[in-house]
């Protein structure tokens, strides 16, 4: 049976029970399908507002034709069937959803209903941000975390206890602050989410590894928490906010505000700082507008505001509908998605020669930002979504995440659309391109491709590379366009006279740039290795390679086996290094740089000095440091005779942990490696 993913149903035109039966069946099938995509696959194909429209239409028809309402209807359930391979957990009390509204009139209707049923003229509300994450339940027995689960279908969720334990913000044992003793048994609920910074870093890493990227932070958080291997979850930088108590033995609360304060005193993270008590519904609406303005500067995604009655006794008096409470409503923000025309698909060429498709769109306003381009990630994504030039498409933007094309609207095709074809040649230099079998990676085979050259040179002269001051992107473009530079090594053949003939170059600026280029020849070997742009080799790995092999000649001859003997270098990085040095153009470039006089070896062995207070010691830096950049901290260690590694093992002497330290810190604790705070490290070097 074929399911209509976007059934066209107009409830106003449906008059008979037979017509309603057909429409309801279509809507239920579509909603179940989208529940499966959203909750199980973490890969939605429609926007939230489209889903809500289908759901509300189904509700309307079931209310209009109550004889057609069934117990297995999506309106009677929350979420979707849990994945049994994770293990199942029965919730002590069902986890329900909230009624969703999109305009002020619906909020006023909610307020009027509450006041009428309670028989009072004014209601005190508490307004909280509505997080766009994954709902979870944590159960603590005698203050110890025993079980954690997802919402699942509301009655039964997936057992994610091992994965929840990897989230640093989740206490494994409850604490007691200000005399607030935690209850013997506590069932608490909240939302697991991923910050924009973590989401962007994760997608960047996945794209680099040729893996599919996540559509948004919510999907990334859900996919990360529901992994069968907790080690994968541990490396994903998940966070949590707790916001409600389902059960607390021996402890009673009068208000929702009191609940949040108690959770905080038990060591559970809440977002109480962003929560507001509102003395009437107008104050709640003002809060909604304030949060809508703030959402762009928050480090995480919120998609609306939850307005709850603050008094818990009043909540109890109002009670529940079938799938949502009468005492709360989720007032969503205007959606950050829009429809527009896909005018063209252009190809960008990166520093390593990787080709990336980019959508050129009819400009459209999405969440207050005009969008004319959107990422398409890779050729596999374009083909999987069957995007065609001329399609009407849905684009989405969340916070500071790059706009992306979600799906085409197939019903709007008129036959003039053009199917996308993967190009055979690079659009810049017309050399053949190499495409992986899964279509996720495509690379220009010409190392001297102008597009690659511009980006490669920019990387080569950067501060972490050869540090050539005065050679920014505009000047690089100018030199390439003038035909003076056609390779990395050719910058060392430039003369002041050649530069003096170019626009915006005087005698002084020409001589100054030549002097900077000449000075760069004295940069240490590890900087040159980083500057060459070896795929997957960052500045720290470059230092390790320089220390281990000592010279370019030895490194070029290194085998996969030799490279993988180094602690911090795995199979992928080793393969990348050997492939890079096997390339004939790479070998020509290195020969030219050698003739230009650049340093191709290091004479100082494994550390930059044979003595010093850190001689024989190995450090690992993890998390965000505030006093130094990681490269600066590593240099301090090396200048004092120490070694810096990028991975944690039993051979490490110290792990220096900054803010938001993750899996490396946890591994260090398990191995018993000594852990230093940034302040401890500062004292050590002083």
Count of structural domains within the chain = 5
d(CA 252, CA 312): 10
b/e burial code for range 414-448 (CB count within 10 A of at least 16 → b): eeebeebeebeebebbeeebebeeebbbbbbebbb
Q: What is the predicted pLDDT for the residue at 390?
A: 95
SS3 181: coil
Distances (CA, A) of 494 to 104, 497, 588: 66, 8, 18
Say yes or no: 582 and 648 in one domain. Answer: no
* Residue 48 CA, distance from chain mean position: 19
- The more confident residue out of 79 and 556 is 556
Return the structure tokens found at 120.
Answer: 């009072």
Reported as a single tens digit per residue, the pLDDT across 666-677 is 888 888 899 998
High-pLDDT (> 70) share of the chain, %: 92
Q: Would 96 be classed as within a structural domain?
A: yes
Reported as a single tens digit per residue, the pLDDT across 155-166 is 888 899 988 988
**379 contacts 422 by C-beta, under 8 angstroms:** yes
Reported as a single tens digit per residue, the pLDDT across 446-476 is 867 888 788 888 889 988 889 998 898 889 9
Specify which of 98-102, 153-157, 339-343, 397-401 reaches the highest per-range mean pLDDT: 339-343
- The more confident residue out of 418 and 648 is 418
Threshold 0.75, pTM exceeds = no
Three-class HEC string of 17-29: HHHHHHHHHHHHH
Closest CA to 54 of 98, 5, 110, 104: 5
Say yes or no: 506 and 391 in one domain. Answer: no
Q: Would 37 be classed as within a structural domain?
A: yes
Say yes or no: 18 and 94 in one domain. Answer: no
Q: What is the predicted pLDDT for the residue at 314?
A: 96
Work out the number of other CB atoms within 10 angstroms of the CB of residue 405.
25
Say yes or no: 403 and 483 in one domain. Answer: no
In DSSP notation, 203-251 reads: HHHHHHTTPPPPSSHHHHHHHHHT-SSHHHHHTT-EEEEEEEEEEETT-
Return the structure tokens found at 5.
Answer: 């993913």
pLDDT band at 312 (very low <50, low <70, confident <90, very high): very high
Give kind and range of the element (H or E) at residue 339: strand 337-349
- Is pLDDT above 70 for 259? yes
- Is pLDDT above 50 for 294? yes
Q: What is the predicted pLDDT for the residue at 82?
A: 52
Q: What is the predicted pLDDT for the residue at 473?
A: 86
Give kind and range of the element (H or E) at residue 511: helix 507-520
Exposed/middle/buried for 202, CB within 10 Å: 0-12, 13-18, 19+? buried
- Is pLDDT above 90 for 629? no
Return the structure tokens found at 331.
Answer: 């007032």
Q: What is the predicted pLDDT for the residue at 310?
A: 96
Q: Would 409 be classed as within a structural domain?
A: yes
Reported as a single tens digit per residue, the pLDDT across 223-233 is 888 887 788 88
Return the structure tokens found at 49.
Answer: 């507002």
Q: Lowest mean pLDDT of 140-144, 401-405, 454-458, name the range.
A: 401-405
Contacts 24+ apart (CB under 8 A), 334-337: 334/102, 334/292, 334/367, 335/47, 335/48, 335/49, 336/366, 336/367, 336/396, 336/397, 336/398, 337/47, 337/49, 337/366, 337/394, 337/395, 337/396, 337/397, 337/406
Distances (CA, A) of 451 to 347, 352, 430, 486: 11, 10, 11, 11
Reported as a single tens digit per residue, the pLDDT across 596-619 is 999 898 754 333 445 678 888 888
pLDDT band at 552 (very low <50, low <70, confident <90, very high): very high
Say yes or no: 632 and 561 in one domain. Answer: no
Q: What is the predicted pLDDT for the residue at 400?
A: 43
Q: What is the predicted pLDDT for the residue at 370?
A: 77
* DSSP state for residue 362 in the 8-state scheme: E
Rg over CA atoms, the chain = 30
pLDDT band at 399 (very low <50, low <70, confident <90, very high): very low
Reported as a single tens digit per residue, the pLDDT across 496-546 is 999 988 888 888 889 999 999 999 999 999 999 999 988 878 887 888 898
Q: Would 290 be classed as within a structural domain?
A: no
- The more confident residue out of 481 and 190 is 190
CB contact set of 118 (below 8 Å; sequence gap of 6+): 314, 317, 318
Q: In this structure, what CATH number is given to the domain that contains residue 500?
A: 1.10.150.20
Q: Would 280 be classed as within a structural domain?
A: no
Angle at 7 between CA 5 and CA 8, to 5 degrees: 150
Boundary of a domain, candidates 275, 302, 321? 275
In DSSP notation, 370-391 reads: EEEEEE--SHHHHHHTT-EET-
Q: In this structure, what CATH number is given to the domain that contains residue 235?
A: 3.30.470.30
Q: What is the predicted pLDDT for the residue at 86?
A: 67
Work out the number of other CB atoms within 10 angstroms of the CB of residue 322.
12
Say yes or no: 417 and 486 in one domain. Answer: no
Positions marked catalytic: 130
Q: Would 199 be classed as within a structural domain?
A: yes
Say yes or no: 108 and 235 in one domain. Answer: yes
Say yes or no: 177 and 253 in one domain. Answer: yes
Give kind and range of the element (H or E) at residue 676: strand 674-677
Q: What is the predicted pLDDT for the residue at 118?
A: 95
Q: Which domain covers residue 25, as residue numbers?
A: 11-76
**192 contacts 136 by C-beta, under 8 angstroms:** yes
SS3 443: strand
Say yes or no: 650 and 534 in one domain. Answer: no
Q: In this structure, what CATH number is given to the domain that contains residue 27?
A: 1.10.287.610
- Is pLDDT above 60 for 107? yes
Average pLDDT of 313-337?
Answer: 88
Q: What is the predicted pLDDT for the residue at 561?
A: 82
Closest CA to 271 of 306, 320, 228: 306
The mean of the pLDDT values for the chain is: 85
pLDDT band at 494 (very low <50, low <70, confident <90, very high): very high
Say yes or no: 472 and 426 in one domain. Answer: no
Reported as a single tens digit per residue, the pLDDT across 37-81 is 665 455 677 777 777 888 888 888 988 888 888 876 777 655 445
**647 contacts 567 by C-beta, under 8 angstroms:** yes
- The more confident residue out of 3 and 451 is 451
d(CA 314, CA 255): 9
Average pLDDT of 24-40?
Answer: 76
- Is pLDDT above 80 for 179? no
Return the structure tokens found at 121.
Answer: 């003229």
Q: Would 302 be classed as within a structural domain?
A: no
Q: What is the predicted pLDDT for the residue at 604?
A: 45
Average pLDDT of 185-210?
Answer: 87
């Amino acid at each position: 049976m074929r399911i209509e993913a976007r059934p066209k149903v107009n409830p106003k035109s449906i008059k008979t029970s037979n017509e309603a039966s057909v429409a309801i069946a279509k809507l239920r099938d579509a909603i179940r399908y989208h529940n499966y995509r959203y909750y199980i696959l973490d890969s939605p194909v429609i926007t939230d507002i489209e889903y809500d429209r289908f759901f509300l239409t189904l509700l309307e028809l079931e209310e209009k034709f109550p004889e057609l309402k069934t117990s297995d209807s999506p309106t009677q359930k929350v979420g979707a069937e849990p994945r049994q391979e994770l293990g199942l957990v029965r919730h002590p009390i069902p986890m329900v959803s909230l009624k969703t509204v999109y305009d002020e009139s619906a909020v006023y209707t909610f307020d009027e209903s509450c006041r009428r049923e309670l028989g009072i003229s004014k209601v005190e509300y508490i307004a909280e941000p509505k997080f766009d994450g994954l709902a979870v339940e944590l159960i603590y027995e005698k203050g110890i975390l025993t079980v954690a689960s997802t919402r699942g279908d509301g009655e039964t969720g997936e057992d994610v206890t091992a994965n929840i334990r990897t989230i640093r913000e989740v206490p494994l044992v409850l604490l007691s602050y200000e005399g607030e003793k935690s209850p013997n048994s506590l069932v608490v609920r909240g939302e697991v989410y991923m910050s924009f910074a973590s989401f962007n870093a994760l997608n960047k890493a996945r794209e680099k590894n040729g893996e599919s990227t996540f559509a948004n932070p919510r999907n990334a958080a859900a996919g990360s928490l529901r992994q069968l291997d907790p080690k994968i979850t541990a490396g994903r930088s998940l966070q949590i906010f707790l916001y409600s108590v389902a059960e607390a033995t021996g402890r009673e609360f009068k208000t929702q505000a009191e609940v949040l304060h108690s959770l905080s005193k038990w060591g559970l993270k809440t977002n109480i700082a962003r929560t507001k008590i509102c003395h009437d519904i107008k104050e709640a609406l003002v809060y909604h507008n304030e949060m809508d303005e703030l959402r762009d500067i928050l480090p995480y995604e919120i998609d609306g505001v939850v307005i709850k009655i603050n008094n818990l006794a009043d909540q109890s008096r109002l009670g529940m509908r079938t799938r949502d409470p009468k005492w709360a409503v989720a007032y969503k923000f205007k959606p950050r998605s829009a429809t527009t025309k896909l005018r063209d698909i252009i190809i960008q060429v990166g520093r390593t020669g990787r080709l990336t498709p980019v959508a050129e769109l009819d400009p459209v306003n999405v969440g207050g930002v005009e969008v004319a381009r959107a990422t398409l990630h890779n050729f596999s994504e374009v083909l999987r979504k069957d995007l065609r030039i001329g399609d009407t498409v849905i684009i989405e933007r969340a916070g500071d995440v790059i706009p992306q094309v979600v799906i085409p609207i197939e019903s709007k095709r008129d036959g003039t659309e053009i199917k996308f074809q993967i190009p055979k040649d690079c659009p810049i230099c017309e050399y053949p391109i190499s495409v992986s079998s899964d279509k996720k990676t495509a690379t220009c085979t010409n190392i001297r491709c102008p597009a690659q050259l511009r980006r490669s040179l920019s990387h080569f002269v950067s501060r972490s590379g050869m540090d050539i001051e005065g050679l920014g992107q505009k000047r690089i473009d100018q030199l390439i366009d003038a035909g003076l530079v056609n390779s990395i090594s050719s910058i060392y053949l430039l003369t002041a006279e050649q530069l003096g003939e170019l626009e915006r170059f005087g005698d002084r600026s020409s001589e100054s740039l030549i002097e900077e280029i000449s000075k760069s020849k004295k940069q240490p070997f590890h900087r040159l290795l980083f500057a060459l742009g070896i795929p997957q080799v960052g500045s720290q790995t470059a230092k390790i390679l320089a220390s281990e092999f000592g010279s370019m000649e030895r490194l070029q001859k290194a085998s996969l086996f030799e490279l993988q003997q180094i602690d911090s270098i795995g199979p992928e990085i080793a393969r990348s290094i050997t492939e890079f040095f096997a390339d004939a153009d790479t070998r020509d470039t290195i020969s030219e740089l050698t003739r230009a006089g650049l340093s191709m070896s290091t004479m100082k062995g494994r550390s930059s000095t044979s003595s010093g207070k850190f001689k024989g010691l190995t450090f690992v830096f993890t998390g965000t440091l505030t006093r130094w950049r990681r490269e600066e901290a590593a240099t301090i260690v090396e200048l004092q005779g120490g070694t810096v590694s990028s991975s944690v093992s039993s051979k490490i002497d110290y792990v220096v942990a900054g803010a938001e330290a993750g899996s490396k810190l946890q591994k260090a604790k398990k191995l018993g490696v000594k852990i230093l705070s940034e302040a401890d490290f500062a004292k050590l070097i002083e």
